[in-house]
Amino acid sequence: MSQALTQPAPLRLRAADTHDLLVLGSCIQDSLVPVVGMDFNLADHAFTLLLNRFMWEADPEESSDTPHYYRTHSGLRFSHVQKVHYQNMDFKNATLTLNLLALKREADGIHLLFSQGAALRLDITQIEAHLFDLEDPWLTPSLPDHFLKEKIQESVHP
């Protein structure tokens, strides 16, 4: 008899200070973010992103010899945004998806750092962000590996 998979509960988080942003950042690290899923609404002073979020908070399922992890689609909204600065983002490439590496609060705003040297900075008047999972999670055998590039180099140049 196989054991039924227990899906993790959806996240609903609010960040109102720098400490909250650290927690939020740890939850969204390694999210896959399509550039077409980013939007700055100047009238509402809001910046939103759609995320394919790796669920770091969920225990892997051990239903076979290979553990399976969880991903889910999530929304991330920053309020009180006055301006958005972009670096190395090709918004004309509708298929471009970036890996979200880090979320940081700096003196000049909130920074989101992505793969391929892409980044954005949000000029804000106060910290207010909301993360919310949008649908049921799904299983994936892939675990993000931050040391993959180093492992490849070591195997090529021992």
**Residue 3 falls within a domain, yes or no?**
no
Q: How far is CA 154 from CA 79, 144, 147, 157, in A?
A: 43, 18, 11, 5
Q: Which residues of 25-62 are buried (b: 16+ CB within 10 A; e: fewer)?
A: bebbbbbbbbbebbebeeeeebbbbbbbbbbeebeebe
pLDDT at 147 over 80: no
Report the relative pairing of strands 12-15 and 129-133 from DSSP bridges. Answer: antiparallel
The per-residue pLDDT for 152 is 41
- pLDDT digits over 59-88, tens only? 888 776 777 889 999 999 999 999 999 999
Per-residue pLDDT band at 2 (split at 50, 70, 90): very low
**Residue 136 falls within a domain, yes or no?**
yes
- Token duo for residue 130: 């909301």
State how far the Cα of 52 lies from the Cα of 140, in Å rounded to an integer: 12
**Residue 5 falls within a domain, yes or no?**
no
Which has more pLDDT, 109 or 157?
109
Q: How many domains does one find in the chain?
A: 1
**Residue 6 falls within a domain, yes or no?**
no
- pLDDT digits over 7-31, tens only? 788 999 999 999 999 999 999 999 9
Q: What is the pTM of this model?
A: 0.85
The per-residue pLDDT for 156 is 46
Instruction: State mean pLDDT over 149-157.
Output: 46
The per-residue pLDDT for 155 is 42
State how far the Cα of 131 lies from the Cα of 124, in Å rounded to an integer: 17
**Residue 86 falls within a domain, yes or no?**
yes
Beta-strand (E) ranges in the chain?
12-15, 32-34, 38-41, 46-54, 69-78, 81-87, 97-106, 109-114, 119-124, 129-133, 138-140
The amino acid occupying position 35 is V
**Residue 144 falls within a domain, yes or no?**
yes
State how far the Cα of 117 lies from the Cα of 98, in Å rounded to an integer: 10
Per-residue pLDDT band at 146 (split at 50, 70, 90): low
Domain enclosing residue 78, as ranges: 12-156
- pLDDT digits over 103-136, tens only? 999 999 999 999 989 999 999 999 999 999 999 9
